[in-house]
Amino acid sequence: MRRIFKYTFSLFMFAWLTAGAQTNGLDIGGLRFGFDISRIAVPFLEDGRVEYDGSIDLRINKDLYPVIEVGWGDFETEKINFKYRSTGYSLRAGIDKNYLKKDNADEMGMFFVGVRYGLSFFKHESPFLKISDPYWGDYYGAIPIKNLHAHWLEFTTGIRVEIIKNIYLGWSLRGRLLLNKSDDTNMSPYYIPGYGKVSGNTNMGFRYSIFYQLPLKG
Amino acid sequence: MEFWRIGFLYLTGFCLLSVSCESEKSCEQPTVSMLKAGFYSVQDSIPEAASVDNFTVYGIGRADSLLYDQANSVVNFDLLLSPSGDTTGFVLTLGAKTDTVVFLYSRELHLLSMECGFVTYYYIENINNTSNAIDSIKVVNKKVTTGDEENIQIYL
């Protein structure tokens, strides 16, 4: 099933890129750096969760924008009987296609639909745990750090608007499909940097970013 | 572009308002791993469930705390293995006879969920017992979890 997803994704990307290149030709435009400012609010909304996320996208013709996103995440929670911590990096690569009608190709404002392939390398641990046993006595222990990885597909849509010259604001919605995660017999990963909390094989996310465009013209 | 600027602001507000808040869930599953045992007797080479009266059990070293106290019509019962060691022994009184059963096992910590926390899963590796009332003990499922599956069959 995972292979089918991988091949479908690759074919989809290839078809999209070649279709775009054939109809419009390559026309390298602005290079744009983004920083997800909604991550600033995360520690205030959820104690123990800290995330940073940035992106680079490049216009390769009128409406196609290959994009790379990198992130770092740290999640720590303390329950009555245990602590859990997960921290690590994520890399997401994909492409956005603009559907906003432009007056000229150089405009970088966009309403887009895109896909990403996401990969995360992270580690998790339980530095403290207690198992209550009224008969034999409570047990205290820990799960040592384990290095793990996970990968997923991400489908996104959103808009970006030029607020002042070369500065953009934009939001995007993310729907994620977890393809695979490392196996850990002691505890299944609860938080994957870049993906978020694991509950089943899907989740939703929201990003709100500020962008700076380097004005390039190919 | 003016339309899109207005749309952008409108949708931004909508998205910020719809940021979902997670509610605290409660644990809704068993959180104790129990070794599940059943009594059997063999009638015409066919194992059949057996019932035991005057059944008393306590852990070795815990004679002050009975797990079962002169219970009657017991067909199956649960035992708590110690999460702090790899051996747990029990003294079982079945009617007028008494036996000692010692379990040797390995342990695995397992996170059930964020709401429920950790439990210990046990893997039975060996059982030593006396044979005053007990004829033999058969391990049918060596993994002891929070589930309902029977782990051992005690033949009388």
Residues A11-51: pLDDT tens digits? 455 445 544 544 557 777 789 999 999 999 999 988 999 99
Closest CB from A79, A135, A186 relative to B80: A135
Please, which pLDDT band fits residue A179 given cuts at 50, 70 and 90? very high
Rounded CA-CA distance A40/A45 in Å is 10
Mind listing the pLDDT tens digit for each residue in A109-144?
A: 889 999 999 999 999 999 999 999 989 999 999 999
Give me the pLDDT at residue A107, please. 72
Mind listing the pLDDT tens digit for each residue in A180-215?
A: 999 899 999 999 999 999 988 999 999 999 999 987
A146 pLDDT above the threshold of 80: yes
Rounded CA-CA distance A111/A63 in Å is 10
B102 pLDDT above the threshold of 70: yes
Residue A202 CB neighbour total at 10 angstroms: 12
B146 in contact with A, Cβ within 8 Å: no
- Which two three-digit tokens encode residue A100? 């906003």
Give me the pLDDT at residue A140, please. 96
Contact B5 A161 (CB under 8 A): yes
How open is the CA angle B63-B66-B71, to the nearest 5 degrees?
A: 135
Give me the pLDDT at residue A18, please. 46
User: Which residues face A151 on adjacent strands?
Assistant: A119, A180
Query: Rounded mean pLDDT of chain B?
Result: 88
Using a CB-CB cut-off of 8 Å, the residues of chain A touching B62 are 135-136
Q: Judge: domain A2-214, CATH 2.60.40.
A: no
**Mode of pairing for the β-strands spanning B55-59 and B97-113:** unpaired
Sorted by where each begins, the domain ranges of chain A are 2-214
Rounded CA-CA distance A67/A75 in Å is 26
Q: In angstroms, what separates the C-alpha of B47 from chain A's closest C-alpha?
A: 32
- What is the ipTM, given to two decimal places? 0.79
B74 pLDDT above the threshold of 50: yes
Give me the pLDDT at residue A188, please. 94
Contact B83 A79 (CB under 8 A): no
Nearest to A156 by CA among A116, A211, A98, A200: A116
The letter for the amino acid at A184 is D
Give me the pLDDT at residue A30, please. 82
User: Which residues face A115 on adjacent strands?
Assistant: A95, A155
Sorted by where each begins, the domain ranges of chain B are 32-155
Give me the pLDDT at residue A86, please. 97
Mean pLDDT of A138-159: 96
* Nearest 10 degrees: Cα torsion B131, B136, B138, B139: 10
